[in-house]
């Protein structure tokens, strides 16, 4: 399974925020490890989670806030997964 295929599991369900509980965080960390192993950049991964989140919510204000929160969580997990 590619890292892009693994992203959905990091959200729990379509409208849920990125990696907010332990199982979602574990799946996000695995997706990040896979992405790094496949040579994906941090920017590619960030764009993919932003696109996934926007797929389920069309309100631009909500999307902007959601992308910021998801991005903050992603930044922490990307750094943690560097050594994993």
Can you give the pTM of this predicted structure?
0.87
C-alpha–C-alpha distance, residues 37 and 68, integer Å? 26
* Cβ neighbours around 48 below 10 Å, total: 16
Indicate whether 84 pLDDT > 70: no
The 3-state DSSP composition of the chain as helix, strand, coil percent (nearest 5) reads 70, 0, 30
Condensed to tens digits (0 to 9), the pLDDT of residues 2-51 reads 999 999 999 988 778 999 999 999 999 999 999 999 999 999 999 999 99
Please name which of 76, 81, 67, 82 lies closest in space to residue 11, comparing C-alpha atoms. 67
């Amino acid at each position: 399974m590619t890292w892009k295929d693994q992203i959905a599991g990091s959200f729990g369900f379509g409208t849920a925020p990125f990696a907010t509980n332990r199982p979602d965080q574990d799946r996000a960390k695995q997706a990040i490890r896979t992405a790094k192993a496949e040579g994906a950049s941090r920017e590619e991964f960030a764009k993919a989670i932003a696109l996934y989140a926007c797929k389920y919510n069309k309100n631009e204000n909500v999307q902007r806030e959601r992308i910021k929160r998801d991005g903050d969580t992603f930044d922490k997990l990307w750094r943690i997964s560097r050594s994993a």
